[in-house]
Amino acid sequence: MRLEIEKLKLIYSGDLILDSLDLGVEEGEFVSILGHSGSGKTTLINIIAGLLKADGGSVKAGGQLVDGPLAGCAYMPQDDLLMPWNTILKNVTLYGRINGTAKEDEKEALRNMEAFGLKGYEYRYPGELSGGMRQRAAFLRTLLCRADLFLLDEPFAALDELTREEMQDWLIAIRQKDERLARTTLLVTHDIEEAVKLSDRIIVLSGRPARIVYEKRITPQETMETKERQKWDGPFKTKGDGPFLSREKTVGLNGQNDETKKDRPLLSSGSGAGETEAEARRETVRKEIRAVLRT
């Protein structure tokens, strides 16, 4: 889903929160939004989701003006919001139970449990899971919404550093394995490293009134094309509306069948000089963002 945001303006309690903010997001792009607390990051995605009405400007999603809750949008807040009285299976199929597709969603959820690190916990309750497992369950619930746009509001902020890094690695891998998670995504975060690690593009908002004061593509076009070539035919293969686990052979980076390398790193844009150059670019972006946030 493509987003077009033009001249967005919001006033709250007499304060100008957003002022003539323009932003375009291409279909399938992963954009991170950084900024100080109170700069309007969550406000922006609430307006995009149609949960908050702007005082000026417009938001278009898929070419249609957003004027109310946006269909085809999945919003994942910082808290996992799992219902403690329901099993994990019932939690992740909430959308289906509301919309009359519970049986189909349960079958799809069970097919995905292993991929999301939840196999064996389908009938456990949220209180029995670790923080990382709960977040993976929340992501599975988000996936099963069949959305074209994902709005993620600091989904890893409540996790400890080690678990947060593991979740970031997991999200990158699962997005590359399952095309349904490689949808248009906006991530609100305070974590510079998280933004650099996950994003195709990063924007930084100023203090109030919020404007975009920095914008950088972190994933060069050639690297994006490399990631496309590295998508697996297995262990995930698309069948119908969802992936299923497969023992079929994977495709190596050289295009040859590879029976053994199941856990290939999906993030690397290369090795040696190429990877050194990519890391140098990422470090430059980190320094630029820190400098912008200090001003």
The model's pLDDT over 186-226, given as tens digits with 9 standing for 90+, comes to 999 988 999 998 999 999 998 888 889 999 988 654 344 44
Q: What's residue 273's pLDDT? A: 63
CATH of domain 3-225: 3.40.50.300
* Residue 272 pLDDT grade (very low, low, confident, very high; cuts 50, 70, 90): low
Mean pLDDT on 271-276? 64
Using DSSP bridges, classify how beta strands 15-25 and 201-205 pair: parallel, antiparallel or unpaired. Answer: unpaired
Note the pLDDT tens digit of each residue in 50-70: 999 999 999 999 888 998 888
In total, the chain counts a number of residues equal to 295
Residue 204, phi then psi, degrees to nearest 5: -120, 130
For residues 144 and 12, give the distance between their C-alpha atoms in angstroms, rounded to a whole number: 34
Nearest residue to 80 via CA among 23, 27, 154: 154
**C-alpha to C-alpha distance for 18 and 42, rounded to whole angstroms:** 11
Residue 269 in this model has a pLDDT that exceeds 50: no
pLDDT value of residue 214: 92
What integer best gives the mean pLDDT of the chain?
78
Least confident of 35-44, 104-113, 153-162, 225-234: 225-234
For residue range 151-179, what is the model confidence (pLDDT) as tens digits? Answer: 999 888 877 788 788 878 878 887 777 67
Band the pLDDT of 180: cuts 50, 70, 90.
Answer: low
Which of these, 170, 186, 3, lies nearest to 77 by C-alpha position? 186
Q: Tell whether pTM > 0.85.
A: no
What is the rounded distance in angstroms from the CA atom of residue 257 to the CA atom of residue 291? 46
